[in-house]
Chains A and B, each alone.
Chain A
Amino acid sequence: MRTHRLALLCLMGTLTWVLQAAAGDMVEVRIDTVLATNASQDFDNRLGDMRRQLSAFRFSSYRLVQEERRQVGWGKQADFFLPGGRFLQVVPKEYVNEQIALQVMLLEGSTPTSLMSTQVRMPNPGSLFIGGRSHQEGTLIIRIGVAAEE
């Protein structure tokens, strides 16, 4: 029985090692852009894993407008276009004490102007919400999810 458990564990470890060898020292950054409104009661099924989290925002309707996933190297900047001519710049800085240090900047407009810049430490995997900007008939809520291989 012990051997079977160890066999399964090591097989999973090999698969992880193979995938990591292919991926390199990267962080997965995931940006989900949600349009929240009070215009209806609709809930986008693609947001199933965020249902409970989104309910805390007290809008009646949520729709996924954009979803993007990318592997980003430590210290490298990744730009994400957002609806309404906005940009998100994300830089995974370092991994210390099982926490990911992340720098996030939200830019908007033609210049473009920095609307918000933050440095945050979060557990691995972790997420951060940025919300409040209006878009079309609603408000945008952006979830930034990060996961690093240890």
Chain B
Amino acid sequence: MVNCPRYERLAALLYDGELHGPLRREVRAHVAGCVACTRWLAALDRLHEVLLQEVDSQIERIDFSHFWEQIEGKLSAPPLPWFVRFRLQWARWQARQPLGIPLGAAAAALLLAALLSLSYLDFPVDSFLSSFRPNPSRLATYSQAQIESLSAATTVALWNEPISNAPVIWIEDDRDGAVP
């Protein structure tokens, strides 16, 4: 399907009623004359229709006559013992871990075993650790940010923010061009 990359997202915002004022009028005017955008909105419409139909048809099959009773049952049930609640919370937390606890634990155990065995060898720990300390001279050279190129449709002001030395690009506004 041919699409209109510039307006695709804006057309979707228009469809969702999230555009207002002059921008809304402009996008509406564009969509009225753009075949790709018209097709895109029609596809969005159809997508909404089929999704809504599917969900509605599934919900229609559900018997809600005992829904409230089942909720009441949950509210009236005696509270679970603390160890059962702990186990449920643990299972919930575990389900949220992307890699799994066993993998992390195994990795840590393997590492500790390796370290303990290393401690019996003549391993130069100090020089190994010193390789992780930052080189101060390199920090001085590369702590400055550099703007390599800049193009703008309007007047800009440039300076470095004094606390973190981060570059600031200030684009003057037609309404209020004052640089702070």
Contacts and interface: CB of A to CB of B under 8 A. Distances in A.
Do A and B come into direct contact in the complex, CB within 8 Å? yes
Interface of A: 2-3, 5-7, 9-11, 14-15, 18, 22, 36, 52-53, 56-59, 81, 85, 97-99, 101, 106, 109-123, 126-134, 139, 143
B115 A98 contact: no
B163 A56 contact: yes
Contacts of A117: 149-152
Given A56-B163, A131-B170, A132-B171, A3 B115 contact: yes
Given A56-B161, A128-B167, A132-B170, A118 B149 contact: yes
A116 B107 contact: no
14 contacts: A3-B115, A6-B128, A9-B129, A10-B111, A10-B115, A18-B107, A56-B161, A81-B9, A85-B10, A85-B19, A98-B138, A110-B30, A119-B150, A134-B175
A123 B151 CA distance: 22
A114 B167 CA distance: 20
Nearest to A138: B176
How large, as a class, is the contact surface on chain B? 35 or more
A57 B112 contact: no
Given A2-B126, A116-B151, A121-B146, 13 more contacts: A2-B119, A3-B115, A6-B115, A11-B111, A18-B103, A53-B163, A59-B180, A97-B142, A99-B142, A112-B6, A116-B153, A117-B152, A128-B169
A123 B10 contact: no
B58 interface: no
B99 interface: yes
A43 to B, nearest CB: 16
Contacts of B172: 132
From B7, B108, B126, name the one whose CB has the most chain A CB atoms within 10 angstroms.
B108
Contacts of B162: 56
Contact of B167 (A6, A99, A129): A129
Given A127-B164, A133-B171, A120 B148 contact: yes
Interface of B: 6-7, 9-10, 13, 19, 23, 26-27, 30, 98-99, 103-104, 107-108, 111-112, 114-116, 118-119, 125-126, 128-129, 132, 138, 142-154, 156, 161-164, 166-173, 175-176, 179-180
Nearest to B138: A98
Contact of A85 (B23, B115, B132): B23
A123 B167 CA distance: 11
A118 B173 contact: no
A126 B6 contact: no
A117 B119 CA distance: 54
Nearest to B148: A119
Nearest to B25: A110
A113 B144 CA distance: 30
